[in-house]
A and B are shown apart, each in its own frame.
Chain A
């Protein structure tokens, strides 16, 4: 059973469209992070959310942490071809007694076509 359920796993859209990726769990997380990974590279941190209900914006990307800290979403407005990549949500469950350990969602492979 996946502790962090990420959806959709694959997404193919046209440039200019909007999209949302979801990350859900039945467990509470101390923090949740979103990463982007390109082929041949390690994951690059986009954002960390720690407070229930928190919303963070990074240019065209909007990240939200659920009020109960069990879910998160990533919304991209007016997608560009450069947004293509693997998006990963990852979090530290509250029941972990050690910071820094992450549980990852399955990932969303995003393809933005011109």
Chain B
């Protein structure tokens, strides 16, 4: 199974600032995704992080607000830009790999509170 490390695990951010979350996997994986989980809610897919090209965003999410990088098969970053209190959420990285039968694994999440 893949081991996923996310940084930071928790942060308190000022309104109007931006924060970059890192996702590191202990093995090369085919697919990497970013999800958001708002307080008391389920998970919503933000985007697919594509290695070497622009991320693919889901409806309601845009690159200017959530820029994503994926420079290689083990690492990705998600930036939450110009934060407002509505961005207070858990942001989760997940990975899927064909070699493991497309099993999907999640990191422990990054808890952001915007004040």
A residues adjacent to B (C-beta < 8 A): 6, 31, 33, 35, 40-45, 48, 88, 90, 98-107
Contact = CB atoms under 8 A, between A and B. Distances in A.
Contact of A42 (B30, B42, B103, B108): B108
B6 to A, nearest CB: 8
Given A41-B108, A42-B108, A45-B105, A90 B43 contact: yes
B104 A104 contact: no
Contacts, number: 58
Given A88-B42, A88-B43, A100 B107 contact: no
A100 B104 contact: yes
B13 interface: no
B76 interface: no
Given A41-B109, A42-B4, 13 more contacts: A42-B108, A44-B106, A45-B104, A45-B106, A90-B43, A99-B31, A101-B33, A102-B33, A102-B45, A104-B44, A105-B42, A106-B42, A107-B42
